[in-house]
């Protein structure tokens, strides 16, 4: 067997956990040596049942068949000692010895990577912030890493893609199992323009157990992690905890103190996470320079509004809006304009791509 095939065999042994794999690698040095160890050697470190599991799993024909199946499905793989394996990931304790992927594996081996995670059920504000930050990071040449889950993760991937930038999706299922199903299009876009990776072989369902394991890879290939919205008990906080254990920087978007979706992020800040209110703060962290060009590109100044001709009434509408959705009746009341005039002004601002309706009748400003 080839070196890669030994790794495929080793990563797929049933009834052997992550810690036991690491222990065997620390002791024997390689899957090749583990494969050729006899029962007596294995039983020094494993129970009889687990030693038997290792011995009974030796089947070169089955491993070759599995590898051929990967190639037929256009699924690639990399392994711990391969040149294409992400170097940042080698720094973590519980290393995934094999990664399955589609797309450009080189994206996971740059230092310009930031994870963006958050709640699956999020506010309109949280979704807009995730897209905005991801878009600005991507425009500055930073690869956005997330888990392709519903909610903030998907918003982060889309923001990076909208900017024509790069993004990495780390799955909590088999590399060919799209979860949630509505992310089918997003999965294809990331595969073509970025990278999709998983330590789970094809066909593996998105079991609850896999997601905390997935989170260590998100933080493992990232220089830092940004948490946008999170409840008090949230998978995003597991990612943040893992990031801290791995020595990664943790950033959090501050939120309203009575908002359950901000409870997790606010607690992270209390515990020492860096509060951020501008993408430039993360860009500066990654590059360690004041990247004025990306700042001008990402942060909407009043000057930017001047480049689009706005009437006094349009400016009044703009000043009344934020990232929090506001109902049309409230806008009419605040701006003291007639209903007909308000509708015309809002229509004009939408056409100028300065505002949008996330929900019919509610308006937010576009960053």
pLDDT, tens digit, 9 for 90 and up, residues 130-159: 999 999 999 999 999 999 999 999 999 999
Q: What does the alpha-carbon distance between residue 60 and residue 36 come to, in Å, rounded to a whole number?
A: 12
Answer with the one of 55, 72, 89 that is the final residue of a domain: 72
Q: What does the alpha-carbon distance between residue 25 and residue 32 come to, in Å, rounded to a whole number?
A: 10
Q: Which domain CATH number covers 43?
A: 1.10.150
Answer with the one of 263, 298, 333 that is the final residue of a domain: 298
Q: Which domain CATH number covers 356?
A: 1.10.10.10
Q: Are residues 132 and 261 in the same domain?
A: yes
Domains: count for the chain: 3
Q: Are residues 238 and 260 in the same domain?
A: yes
Mean pLDDT of 84-104: 94
Residue 323 lies inside a defined structural domain of this protein: yes
Give the chain's mean pLDDT.
Answer: 90
Q: Are residues 259 and 210 in the same domain?
A: yes
Query: DSSP readout, 251-290?
Result: EE----TT-HHHHHHHHHHHTTPEE-SSHHHHHHHHHSS-
Q: Are residues 214 and 137 in the same domain?
A: yes
Write down the pTM of the prediction: 0.82
Q: Are residues 131 and 250 in the same domain?
A: yes
Q: What does the alpha-carbon distance between residue 367 and residue 357 come to, in Å, rounded to a whole number?
A: 14
Structural domain including 333 reads: 302-365
Answer with the one of 50, 72, 94 that is the final residue of a domain: 72
Residue 77 lies inside a defined structural domain of this protein: no
pLDDT, tens digit, 9 for 90 and up, residues 53-90: 999 999 999 999 999 999 999 999 999 999 999 999 99
Residue 65 lies inside a defined structural domain of this protein: yes
Q: Say yes or no to pLDDT of 302 above 70.
A: no
Mean pLDDT of 309-321: 87
Per-residue model confidence (pLDDT) at position 309: 76
């Amino acid at each position: 067997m080839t070196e890669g095939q030994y790794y495929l065999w080793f990563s797929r042994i049933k009834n052997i956990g992550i810690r036991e794999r690491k222990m065997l690698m620390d002791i024997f040095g390689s899957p090749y040596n583990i494969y050729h160890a006899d029962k007596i050697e294995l039983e020094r470190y494993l129970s009889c049942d687990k030693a038997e599991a290792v011995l009974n799993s030796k089947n070169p024909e089955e491993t070759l068949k599995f590898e051929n199946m990967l190639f037929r499905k256009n699924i690639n793989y990399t392994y711990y000692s391969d040149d294409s394996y992400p170097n940042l990931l080698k720094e973590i304790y519980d290393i995934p010895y094999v990664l399955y992927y589609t797309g450009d594996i080189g994206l996971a081996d740059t230092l310009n990577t930031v994870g963006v995670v958050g709640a699956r059920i999020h506010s309109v504000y949280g979704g807009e912030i995730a897209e905005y930050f991801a878009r600005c990071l991507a425009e500055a040449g930073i690869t956005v890493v997330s888990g392709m889950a519903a909610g903030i993760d998907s918003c982060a991937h889309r923001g990076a893609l909208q900017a024509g930038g790069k993004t990495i999706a780390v799955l909590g299922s088999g590399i060919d199992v799209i979860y949630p199903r509505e992310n089918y299009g997003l999965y294809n876009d990331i595969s073509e323009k970025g990278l999709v990776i998983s330590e789970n072989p094809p066909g593996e369902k998105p079991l609850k157990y896999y997601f905390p394991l997935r989170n260590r890879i998100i933080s493992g290939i990232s220089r830092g992690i940004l948490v946008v919205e999170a409840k008090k008990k949230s998978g995003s906080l597991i990612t943040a905890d893992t990031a801290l254990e791995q020595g990664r920087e943790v950033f959090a978007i501050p939120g309203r103190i009575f908002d359950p979706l901000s409870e997790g992020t606010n607690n992270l800040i209390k515990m020492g996470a860096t509060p951020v209110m501008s993408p430039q703060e993360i860009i500066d962290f990654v590059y360690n320079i004041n990247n004025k060009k990306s700042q001008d590109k990402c942060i909407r100044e009043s000057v930017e509004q001047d480049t689009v001709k706005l009437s006094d009434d349009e400016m009044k509408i703009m000043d009344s809006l934020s990232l929090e959705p506001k109902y049309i009746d409230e806008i009419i009341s605040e701006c003291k304009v007639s209903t007909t005039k308000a509708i015309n002004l809002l229509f004009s601002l939408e056409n100028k791509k300065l505002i949008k309706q996330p929900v019919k009748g509610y308006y937010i400003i576009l960053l």
